Amino acid sequence: MARFARLCFIFFTAWRFGLLPLLRDNLKPGIKRILLSIACFASPNSLPRGVRIRLTLEALGPIFVKFGQVLSTRRDLLPDDISDELAKLQDQVPPFSNAESRALIESALGKPIEEVFIQFDATPVASASVAQVHFGVLRGSSQRPEWQGREVAIKVLRPGILPVIEDDLALMHDLAKIVEKVSADGRRLKPREVVAEFDVYLHDELDLMREAANASQLRRYFIDSDKLMIPEMYWDLCHTSVIVMERMNGISIGRTDELRAAGVDFKKLAADGVEIFFTQVFQYGFFHADMHPGNILISLEPERFGRFISLDFGIVGALSETDKNYLAQNFLAFFNRNYRRVAELHIESGWVPADTRVEELEGAVRSVCEPYFDRPLKEISLGIVLMRLFQTSRRFNVEIQPQLTLLQKTLLNVEGLARQLDPDLDLWKTAKPILEKWISEQLGWRGLVEGLKTEAPNWAKILPTLPRLLAESLAQSTKAEQGAELLLLKTLLQEERQTRRLITGALLFAGGFIAGAILISLSIF
């Protein structure tokens, strides 16, 4: 009943903000359009359509806001008026009250705010779907005197958000089950597994300590980078509902006019963004998976001018070595237009049935990808390419890999950002050297050398013990063989005794039978 009520609330919210007429206008004439026209009766629709869509998503809660955040990066798919409004969902979600925020911070830190901060800005600088951020200045302590006067950002989890997310996720799980039951193609897409993975990521995002750990991990990877900066975490002040981090000064990557006026090189920025993404994915297998403009800043400080600043690490993606290997080889094969290798890799990885004909899959992939090479990014839509690949995959029963859904979403976000910065960017040429370097390091002779270096400490421990381990193994083998021989001998002896008993019993029976026959014959005669 609670989920049915939620569905009714979604329908009512769409009606209240005047979205039903937008849906009706996109339907073909028929009974569905007539029914929706009746439902549209008295629906208020005086606001612009972009505003109505944004207000609806805000009213429906965090999951719908995140959906709007993803859409806001795809200006190639949406009109400008809708994209501009959805962009406000990135960091302009209505905040919760200052009193609530203050109480939550003091409860988490176990101290009054004045004891921890010299200054605290009660008005949030940013408010998103899951949390909001305040600025402050730390007060040093006897244990941490070096913190005195450091500028920080304080992130606070929204109160009462867990029940809302739980209700929406329950609804999504039910819808996924329905899709699997009514659609054979839906079963191939594994909607329940995809929703389950989305469930995990959302719950991870509600644990701010996990976000702090994710940020710390990425900071270690890029500590010496001249392209990306990650804020430092103040672990003594981090809790599951509140975290305190280094304040990063920059301008949102979505404010292109301000960046252009500051003299930022957009072509370099776009190329750096692509390099950062592919480095995270293939070199480290650990990537920022929520890369909308609200989470990406550009530094204008003289010594760090033009560097990316990443924020909000509640959602990160992780890939296994096997996934990285197959993905890198697939990308590189695409870039080299080696479609046969793409087909072979899909079969080797088990993403398509083993009996799939390589030639057929090769031809299908070629027909999708070949028209898009040697074109600037402004003439390519990865969304359309992925859609066509998806349509092709149905023919070959390609299984969707749930662990790669975050990567696909992030790749679309990266493309949307790069398109805004430099429409003439050649995505393929920018990413190809990164992949070639990674494959050389992992699969070439360099990879072999690095692998030997990595395993050297283990071998150093194992090699001196090899003679003893070999002797013990041989001894155990000999004992096992001897034990097997003894068991076989016992079995043979037992079978021989049984056979002897059977023969003896048969002889006694035969003797008795003959003796009886003789006695009977003597009595007759």
Q: Is the Cβ–Cβ distance between 403 and 323 less than 8 Å?
A: yes
pTM, two decimal places? 0.69
How many C-beta atoms lie closer than 10 Å to residue 93's C-beta?
A: 24
The answer to whether residue 509 scores a pLDDT higher than 50 is no
Chain mean pLDDT for the chain: 76
The confidence score (pLDDT) of residue 525 equals 44
What average pLDDT does range 221-244 have in this prediction? 94
Short-list 306, 302, 304, 345, CA closest to 323: 345
The confidence score (pLDDT) of residue 518 equals 45
Of 188-202, 205-219, 497-511, minimum mean pLDDT range: 497-511
How many C-beta atoms lie closer than 10 Å to residue 445's C-beta?
A: 9
Per-residue model confidence as pLDDT tens digits over 102-148: 999 999 999 999 999 999 998 898 887 788 899 999 998 888 889 99
* Nearby residues of 471 by Cβ (< 8 Å), 6 or more positions away: none
DSSP string covering 272-324:
HHHHHHHIIIIIISEEE----GGGEEE--SGGGTT-EEE---SSEEE--HHHH
Q: Which residue has the higher pLDDT, 258 or 14?
A: 258
Short-list 341, 395, 339, 331, CA closest to 367: 339
Q: What is the number of alpha carbons within 13 Å of residue 220 lying toward its C-beta?
A: 7
Q: Measure the CA–CA gap between 143 and 140, rounded to whole angstroms.
A: 8
Selected catalytic residue, list 76, 91, 272, 290: 290
Q: Which range, 64-73, 156-165, 172-181, 255-264, has the best average confidence (pLDDT)?
A: 255-264
Per-residue model confidence as pLDDT tens digits over 430-475: 777 877 777 777 665 655 665 566 666 666 666 677 676 667 666 6
257 is catalytic: no
Per-residue model confidence as pLDDT tens digits over 369-423: 787 766 665 666 655 665 566 566 667 776 656 556 677 777 777 777 777 888 8
The answer to whether residue 37 scores a pLDDT higher than 70 is no
Q: Which residue has the higher pLDDT, 24 or 398?
A: 398
296-298/308-310 β-pairing: antiparallel
What value, to the nearest 5°, has the Cα angle with vertex 273 and ends 269 and 228? 90
Share of the chain above pLDDT 90, in %: 22
* Nearby residues of 197 by Cβ (< 8 Å), 6 or more positions away: 402, 403, 405, 406
Q: Measure the CA–CA gap between 148 and 150, rounded to whole angstroms.
A: 6
Per-residue model confidence as pLDDT tens digits over 295-329: 899 999 999 999 999 998 988 888 887 777 777 77
Question: Distance of alpha carbon 495 from its chain centroid, rounded?
Answer: 63
Share of the chain above pLDDT 70, in %: 66
